[in-house]
Amino acid sequence: MHIDLTGRTALVTGSTQGIGAAIATSLARAGARVGINGRTEERVKEAVDRIRAEVPAAQLVPVAADVTTDDGAREAAAALPQVDILVNNLGIFGPADPLQISDDEWRRYFEVNVLAAVRLIRRYLPGMSERGWGRIENIASDSAEMIHYGMSKTALLAVTRGFAKQAAGTGVTVNSVIAGPTHTGGVEEFVYELVDRSLPWDEAQREFMREHRPQSLLQRLIEPEEIANMVVYLASDQASATTGGAVRVDGGYVDSILP
């Protein structure tokens, strides 16, 4: 399947590293003009340089803004007033004792993982609807054991379904992409919090999956590019009939017949 996003403009939040960087790179490779977002100009510039090294013809727009705040969302919209593809990838995670999570920490997870996406959807969905075409993708998760993280990502599924209904009949699709255990720098650190730090990475990864993610049918961590492949597909014309859904790229981690 050949996916051509030439002429489309995308914004990927939290795209200076990890899954977000892989998504931005894949969208650029498919021909989209892509907004690269991070909190500082330095990190955004580094990401832009890395992506251009991989995709020399990439059309990239630096978007240095903290989109977890209303001011940051306005700054992002000023840098990219019109967006055809919005990928709400930004998120935070981390293990915590459920009984020790403070009210402020619950609020922080909701603010970053949910409200940041809601603010940007409110800004960009009206224009997409008026133009009769748009793609909104919210990066969700299969994780439920990190209770505050799981709460926020579950809320994102409801946000997705609600905005998909708001966009009904407009030519705009709104979907969640449920990412399974994925190999990123942050996840490497998380893995080593749970297994012996003296182990080489390949061995540590295998032990982590065996001990802490035994449901995985892949029996390995997913690579960020594999998440990006699904995001690019959902951003395409070929995915025009997929909306309001929670599409799994989880390596078969969720043990169910239906999503």
Residues annotated catalytic, as ranges: 149
Cβ–Cβ under 8 Å, residues 27 and 85: yes
DSSP code for 12: E
| Token pair for 229 | 């492949």
DSSP-based three-state secondary structure for 215: coil
For residues 166 and 172, what is the distance between their CA atoms, to the nearest angstrom? Answer: 10
For residues 136 and 13, what is the distance between their CA atoms, to the nearest angstrom? Answer: 12
Task: For residue 222, list its beta bridge partners.
Answer: 182
Cβ–Cβ under 8 Å, residues 216 and 251: yes
DSSP-based three-state secondary structure for 116: helix
Instruction: Name residues whose C-beta falls within 8 Å of residue 136's C-beta, 6 or more positions apart in sequence.
Output: 85, 86, 88, 121, 124, 125, 128, 160, 163, 167, 172, 173, 174, 175
CA atoms within 13 A on the CB side of 161: 8
| Token pair for 165 | 């209904």
